[in-house]
Structure 1
């Protein structure tokens, strides 16, 4: 680990630019829920737990798009998959849970935003687009091309993050829209998403040989790792293999471990979400049952003479 910190600069390891951006988002969030809150109709105080959810989501974004794990992800696929699991499966629901519902209600008057959501808000679009983008990303040729082109990689990652938010919105809606899903449909939605998520993980787990030149070909790896180094710095080939290597698994085992880790995290997160939806379904059913019984009793009650 000492070799890691001595090879890469503090800027590459800790990504201060991303910290600054997330700090600004946090500041705007606090202004929105405090000083600016009274500008929106029916705005209520935001509970502490929602504030915690939101900032845990920001932390997830940092872990996925910056910090030491991002650099390690250029040397080990398992680290890259861990970062992706955090930023696409854990951070989006936390960010959505952290936002007050009155914020989204306040966006309704903006016709452009409303029109954009009508265009892309259909649940099937969120379900298919995120899982398709995730699967395409892990095709060997696409993966290696993106990892060696920093600009395109960043654009693709941000686009996939936006699609992840769209997918999770239908699972954790903060306000009712024309596309609102019942709890039963939310459960089916998550099951379908888990099925669509599986092929990419299966490809990585059962390939039997390394799929990505980024982690096996020094020439390709040098292009990918160069974006984590100061301009003009020598490529630390010793970190890829040898006694100073930071990898503790063979490329094949690392690949299998990364795919399995991603699938396990997805199953755990979706399992929790399904449990929450099922609980909400049961709660609503219990609340509605007495009303139905009361209405039926009134229907068949004899008229008083």
Structure 2
């Protein structure tokens, strides 16, 4: 990280405008759970410390991955790109969902208009949408196209982010009465997610050649760096030659490590979620067998 400061400016590393935007999101959050709640939903419980911590931490992760140093690192090494993808789509969504109190979700989706789109939230649709878009993105020709066409990049990332929330809603639904899945079905849903993501990870891990021009072709890399550096980025080729200047692992090892990182984060997150759901299910199924302290 310190070495990068020799080659890139403070603004290119830390993106102050994006930081201010994320600070604005946190301020809005505290307004909605504070003054807005007191005025429009005075009977609702206040957000807990846990919820506040989850939401603020999620916003910090979003900033680091899409505006902070990890954003730049993700354009220099595929491993960091996959770290960003893992955090953005496997960690941040459930943190945001659980960090926003249920009364805000009810207020946001109370309009009759949303009922017309309810079919999009069917568990099978959300399962397939996210995993198909995520896997398609890692097909080399698609990945390189998205990474070098800024408008397409923004739209694709926004849609992928939205479908990640739709998928995680089935697992970590923040509004109890809107939950469509029983505990057993949620466990099966998590397992299905793990299975569907495996082919994309395996494609990356077991490839013995660099698949993405973004990380091995100097011209394509320089174009993709336009997300982090304003103006004409072709000077990077003359100054550094290509991404290999920053990649000490080598193209193939970096690529394989990126796939391993994604798979490990996926397994860790889904494992934690499965354990939590199983614990809650087991507790409910056996609560009648627990001794009643009042009777004792």
TM-score, normalisation: structure 1 = 0.88
1:117-165 residue CA offsets vs partner (Å, 9 max, x unmatched)? x131111111110000000100000101111112211211111111111
Q: In 1, distance between residues paired with 2:289 and 2:85?
A: 42
Q: Report if the CA contact (8 A) 1:40-1:103 is conserved.
A: no
> More displaced, 208-217 or 173-182?
173-182
- Pairs within 5 Å for 1:88-99: 88-99=89-100
Shift of 1:284: 1.2
- In 1, the alpha carbon distance for the partners of 2:8 and 2:230 equals 8
Q: Secondary structure at the match of 2:279?
A: helix
- 8 Å CA contact 2:143, 2:212 repeated in 1: yes
CA distance in 2, matches of 1:285, 1:195: 27
Larger mean CA deviation between 194-203 and 40-49 belongs to 40-49
Matches within 5 A, 1:33-48: 33-38=33-38, 39-40=40-41, 42-48=43-49
- TM-superposition CA deviations, 1:158-203 (whole Å, max 9, x none): 1111111111111011113565111111100000000001111011
Structure 2 equivalent of residue 240 of structure 1: 242
Unaligned runs of 5+ in 1: 291-305
CA RMSD in angstroms comes to 2.0
Q: Counterpart of 1:293?
A: none
In the alignment, the residues of structure 1 paired with residue 230 and residue 9 of structure 2 have an alpha-carbon distance, to the nearest angstrom, of 7
Question: 1:181: which partner in 2?
Answer: 181
Shift of 1:10: 2.2
Larger Rg over CA atoms: 1
Distance 1:88 1:277 in 2: 20
Q: State the 4+ residue runs in structure 1 displaced beyond 4 angstroms.
A: none
State the shift of 1:65 in Å: 1.6
Separation (CA, whole Å) in 2 of partners of 1:134 and 1:106:
30
CA change 1:88–1:241 in 2 (3 A) is closer
Structure 1: distance between partners of 2:73 and 2:95: 24
Q: What secondary structure is seen at the aligned counterpart in 2 of 1:260?
A: helix
Shift of 1:115: 2.9
CA contact (8 A) 2:79 2:255 kept: yes
> Partners of 1:152 and 1:205 in 2: how far apart?
26
Residue 60 of structure 2 corresponds to residue 59 of structure 1: yes
- Aligned partner of residue 191 in structure 1, secondary structure: helix
Contact 2:71–2:228 (CA<8 Å) still a contact in 1? no
Secondary structure of 1:8's counterpart equals: coil
TM-score, normalised to structure 2, is 0.91
Could you tell me how far 1:273 is from its partner in structure 2?
Answer: 0.4
- In structure 2, runs of 5+ residues without a counterpart are 291-296
Higher mean alpha-carbon deviation, 99-108 vs 78-87, is at 99-108
Equivalent residue runs for 1:96-245 within 5 Å: 96-107=97-108, 109-116=110-117, 118-177=118-177, 180-232=180-232, 235-237=235-237, 238=240, 240=242, 245=245
| Contact 1:76–1:215 (Cα < 8 Å) also in 2 | yes
- Per-residue displacement from partner, 1:204-230 (whole Å, max 9, x unpaired)? 011111101111111211211233223
CA distance 1:121–1:221, shift in 2 (3 Å): same
C-alpha distance 49-281 of structure 1, shift in aligned 2 (>3 A): same
**How far off is 1:241 after superposition?**
5.7
User: How many pairs align?
Assistant: 288
Equivalence for 1:249: 249
- How far is the alpha carbon of 1:41 from its aligned partner? 6.4
